[in-house]
Structure 1
């Protein structure tokens, strides 16, 4: 559920995490999920199919997206779209002026323009079956435009746990790779993007039990 606190803005849950105020109702769980699926599809995977024109950096016109969204869902509104974006703890989308885009997760061809990564090491969680293959061939995107790397071993483990019960974490020597011309973009505090990561920058992290 998404609600709005007068003092702290949109939040997810029953009470504002900043002050404990219950706030004003904006969107229930079912509609939040439906709207989230639509926005994800429109901004990451099939903008053309819903009637959007996306530029090279992944931006689309906010007013047009709202018009399309409101025709599809009678209960949808600009405020509900903004609430979805601003309350998202995963920071999946961003709005700038009259434009909106997904920060990551694209399967369409985009050329994102985020700042260069400044962390010396990055991390990537995989299944045990994938380890040897990736150490030999490197990391390349499968169904997405970019490889999504994590900023901590814990975040890499969390991401990989969605797909495997016993994830293995690979450490990427981002400092050396960037010195060699490999580009890494810092999307937010958790995610860094790369077009690919060659195998010579990868080692397995020995996680503490």
Structure 2
């Protein structure tokens, strides 16, 4: 079978993000309490929506997704989004000690308010942080000129804030108060 081109891959990834992170009811599926859905159920629901997707194509999206947003269960029978849900799920990640500093990319127009009020999870379950500049910059430029914020994650952790790390190395926390933020030059 021919591999998906980049445009097909991006379109399918965005659709999977929508139904596995935000609106599973859009295609008539239900996620379990940890965000999993049976692969067969997902593929059948997508077919009913006239968006045919084969198992091989689904596997390709999971494998080639640049941010590794999705994962299969160890037996390959279920799939879920790794993080970024706006619906209630319990991903079951264990608390972890973060590196001394983490990064958050944000559009330039958001910097002043963030420095004043801190980073909030908004409609998501957690604030997403990264350990590398490239990923943080890519996230920040989605809505404008990116600015990188440095988070004193080690100090936050020492002060009692909890952190979790996902399989694709995104660090999660409930909030980042202003005292732990600075602009990375």
TM-score, normalised to structure 2, is 0.85
Bigger mean CA offset, 124-133 vs 87-96: 124-133
Structure 1 segment 19-168 matched on structure 2, within 5 A: 25-29=2-6, 31-73=8-50, 75-96=52-73, 97=75, 98-115=77-94, 116-165=96-145, 167-168=146-147
Shift of 1:131: 2.3
Structure 2: gaps spanning 5 or more residues: none
| Structure holding more helix per residue | 2
Question: Does structure 2 conserve the Cα–Cα contact (< 8 Å) formed by 1:70 and 1:77?
Answer: no
Instruction: Give the aligned CA root-mean-square deviation in angstroms.
Output: 2.2
Q: 1:88 to 1:111 in 2, by over 3 A?
A: same
Question: Does structure 2 conserve the Cα–Cα contact (< 8 Å) formed by 1:131 and 1:168?
Answer: yes
Question: Does structure 2 conserve the Cα–Cα contact (< 8 Å) formed by 1:183 and 1:194?
Answer: yes
Distance in 1, matches of 2:130 and 2:113, equals 20
Structure with greater contact order relative to length (CA < 8 Å, sep ≥ 6): 2
Shift of 1:169: 1.7
Question: Does structure 2 conserve the Cα–Cα contact (< 8 Å) formed by 1:117 and 1:192?
Answer: no
For the pair shown, the structure with the greater C-alpha radius of gyration is 1
Equivalent of 2:152, from 151, 173, 176?
173
Aligned residues: 182
Runs of 4+ in 1 over 6 A off after TM superposition: none
